[in-house]
C-alpha cells in the first residue's frame, strides 16, 4: 500500500469522517424511523410517540482539562450535552446510560464526585440514570453517555424541514462558552509558569459558568409547545453558530441570511472577547459549546415567538442559489464557513492566547 495516498483523519474532520463512514447505510428494521444525520436517532416508540437516542464521547485532554474542570462539573456537563440533543429534536430526555474508561490515577472519591454531577443533572432534568459500564484506561478518563428521550410524533423536529422565508431563531446568547474557555486556558498558563499565582477569575463568572456548567434548553421546548409553535427545523449549538446553520441549510437544501446586529451576545462575552483581540461576532459564529437551540419557524409564527423571553430572530432562510451569508453591521455580505469546534482537528486556542 502506498502511504502517500492515505488520508489522515484530520484532513476530513469530524463531519467529513462521519459522512464517509456512514455513507450508504441502509436501515432494515421497521422500527427505525431516522438513522444517522440528525441530533438523535429516531425509533418507533409507544403509541403517539417516537423514542430518541443519542450518544456523546468525552475524552480527557480533548474535550476537557481537569486542571480547571471540577469533576462534579464535568459529570454535570457530560449529561447536559446529551440532554441538549433531545431538546434539538423538540423532545425531552428520559433515561441515560454512562460508560467510563478510568486510568489508575483516579480514586474512588474522585469518581464519586464525577457521578454526583451526573446524578445532579438527572435530578434537575427529571431523567433516570439506568445503567452503564466501566473499564480500565491506560491514560486519562473517557466518558460515554447515551441518552434516551421521547417526543410526540406530531412535534418531532428534524434539521431538514426549513422552507424559503422561514425565520431563523436562536435561544440565549452565543460565544460565552468559548470566551470562558479562553479565560480558563489563560489562567492555566499563568499557573504553569508560576504555581504561586492565584487565578484571576473575578468578574468573569458568567462566561466561566457557560463553559463549565452549561444547561440544556428543554425549557424552550416547553415554551414553544405552550405557544403552539412547531419549529420547521432545529439543531443545538454545540460546534458554533456558523457550523450549525450550515447543517440546517444542507439538510433543508436552503440558503440563509443572518444579521450580525441581531446575534445575541452577552456584554461580558463582548468585553472579554475584545480583551483577547477577538471580534465578538467571530466568537459567536465559531466558538461552540453554548448548547443553545438554533431553529426556524414559519413567518406566521413571528408574533408568537417575540413573546418568548430569551429567543432572538437573527435572519431567514433563502433559496440555495442565494448562498449562506452573514450581513455585517456595515452591510457587507460574507459567506458563512464552518470554523468552530471539530474534535478531529486542531483547535486554534494558541493564537487567541498569544495575541
More confident residue, 343 or 179: 179
3-state secondary structure of 323: coil
Q: Are residues 106 and 221 in the same domain?
A: no
Instruction: Give domain status of residue 4, yes or no.
Output: no
Nearest-angstrom CA–CA distance, 342 and 345: 5
Q: Are residues 121 and 209 in the same domain?
A: no
Nearest to 354 by CA among 276, 269, 280: 276
Q: Are residues 259 and 317 in the same domain?
A: yes
Q: Are residues 38 and 103 in the same domain?
A: yes
Boundary of a domain, candidates 152, 179, 196 = 152
Q: Are residues 103 and 200 in the same domain?
A: no
What's the confidence (pLDDT) of residue 42? 95
Q: Is the pLDDT of residue 177 over 70?
A: yes
Q: Are residues 265 and 220 in the same domain?
A: yes
CATH code for position 207? 3.90.650.10
Torsional sign, CA 246, 251, 257, 260? negative
Task: Locate 2 and state its grid cell.
Answer: 502506498
Any idea which residue has 425531552 for its cell? Answer: 92
Q: Range with the lowest mean pLDDT among 24-28, 259-263, 295-299? A: 24-28
147, 43 in Cβ contact below 8 A?
no
Nearest to 281 by CA among 255, 251, 314, 250: 314
Q: Are residues 212 and 134 in the same domain?
A: no
Instruction: Give domain status of residue 195, yes or no.
Output: yes
Instruction: Give domain status of residue 127, yes or no.
Output: yes
Measuring CA to CA, how many Å separate 114 from each of 25, 72, 109, 134, 181?
36, 5, 9, 13, 20
What's the confidence (pLDDT) of residue 23? 64
Nearest-angstrom CA–CA distance, 222 and 144: 27
Q: Are residues 178 and 126 in the same domain?
A: no
Boundary of a domain, candidates 126, 152, 178 = 152
Structure confidence by residue, pLDDT tens digits, 142-171: 999 999 999 999 999 999 999 999 999 999
Structure confidence by residue, pLDDT tens digits, 304-353: 999 999 999 999 999 999 999 999 999 999 999 987 544 434 455 555 56
Give the range of the structural domain holding residue 345, as residue numbers without chain letter: 167-354
CATH code for position 52? 3.30.1330.10
What's the confidence (pLDDT) of residue 294? 98
Structure confidence by residue, pLDDT tens digits, 265-310: 999 999 999 999 999 999 999 999 999 999 999 999 999 999 999 9
107, 246 in Cβ contact below 8 A?
no
Nearest-angstrom CA–CA distance, 282 and 267: 15
Instruction: Give domain status of residue 254, yes or no.
Output: yes
Domain count, the chain: 2
Nearest-angstrom CA–CA distance, 133 and 140: 16
Cα dihedral 162, 291, 216, 273, rounded to 10, equals -130
Average pLDDT in the chain? 90
Q: Are residues 119 and 252 in the same domain?
A: no
Structure confidence by residue, pLDDT tens digits, 92-110: 999 999 999 999 999 999 9
Q: Are residues 259 and 348 in the same domain?
A: yes
Amino acid at each position: 500500500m502506498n502511504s502517500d495516498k492515505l488520508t489522515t483523519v484530520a484532513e476530513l474532520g469530524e463531519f467529513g469522517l462521519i459522512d464517509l463512514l456512514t455513507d450508504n447505510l441502509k436501515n432494515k428494521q421497521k422500527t427505525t424511523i431516522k438513522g444517522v444525520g440528525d441530533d438523535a436517532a429516531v425509533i418507533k416508540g409507544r403509541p403517539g410517540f417516537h423514542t430518541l437516542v443519542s450518544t456523546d464521547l468525552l475524552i480527557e485532554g480533548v474535550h476537557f482539562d481537569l486542571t480547571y474542570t471540577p469533576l462534579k462539573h464535568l459529570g454535570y456537563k457530560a449529561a447536559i450535552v446529551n440532554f441538549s440533543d433531545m431538546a434539538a429534536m423538540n423532545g425531552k430526555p428520559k433515561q441515560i446510560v454512562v460508560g467510563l474508561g478510568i486510568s489508575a490515577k483516579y480514586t474512588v472519591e474522585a469518581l464519586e464526585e464525577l457521578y454526583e454531577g451526573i446524578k445532579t443533572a438527572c435530578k434537575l432534568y427529571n431523567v433516570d440514570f439506568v445503567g452503564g459500564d466501566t473499564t480500565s484506561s491506560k491514560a486519562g478518563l473517557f466518558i460515554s453517555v447515551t441518552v434516551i428521550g421521547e417526543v410526540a410524533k406530531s412535534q418531532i423536529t428534524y434539521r431538514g424541514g426549513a422552507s424559503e422565508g422561514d425565520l431563523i431563531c436562536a435561544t440565549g446568547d452565543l460565544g460565552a462558552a468559548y470566551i470562558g474557555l479562553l479565560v480558563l486556558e489563560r489562567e492555566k498558563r499563568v499557573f504553569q509558569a508560576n504555581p504561586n499565582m492565584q487565578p484571576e477569575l473575578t468578574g468573569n463568572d458568567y462566561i466561566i459558568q457557560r463553559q463549565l456548567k452549561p444547561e440544556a434548553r428543554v425549557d424552550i421546548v416547553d415554551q414553544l409547545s405552550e405557544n403552539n409553535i412547531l419549529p420547521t427545523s432545529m439543531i443545538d449549538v454545540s460546534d458554533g453558530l456558523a457550523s450549525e446553520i450550515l447543517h440546517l441549510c444542507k439538510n433543508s437544501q436552503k440558503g440563509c441570511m443572518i444579521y450580525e446586529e441581531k446575534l445575541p451576545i452577552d456584554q461580558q462575552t463582548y468585553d472579554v472577547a475584545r480583551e483577547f483581540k477577538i471580534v465578538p461576532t467571530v466568537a459567536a459564529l465559531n466558538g461552540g459549546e453554548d448548547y443553545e437551540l438554533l431553529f426556524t419557524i414559519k413567518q406566521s409564527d413571528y408574533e408568537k415567538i417575540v413573546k418568548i423571553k430569551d429567543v432572538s430572530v437573527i435572519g431567514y432562510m433563502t433559496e440555495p442559489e442565494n448562498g449562506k451569508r452573514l450581513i455585517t453591521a456595515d452591510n457587507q455580505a460574507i459567506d458563512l464557513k464552518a470554523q468552530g469546534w471539530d474534535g478531529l482537528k486542531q483547535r486554534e486556542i494558541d493564537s487567541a492566547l498569544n495575541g
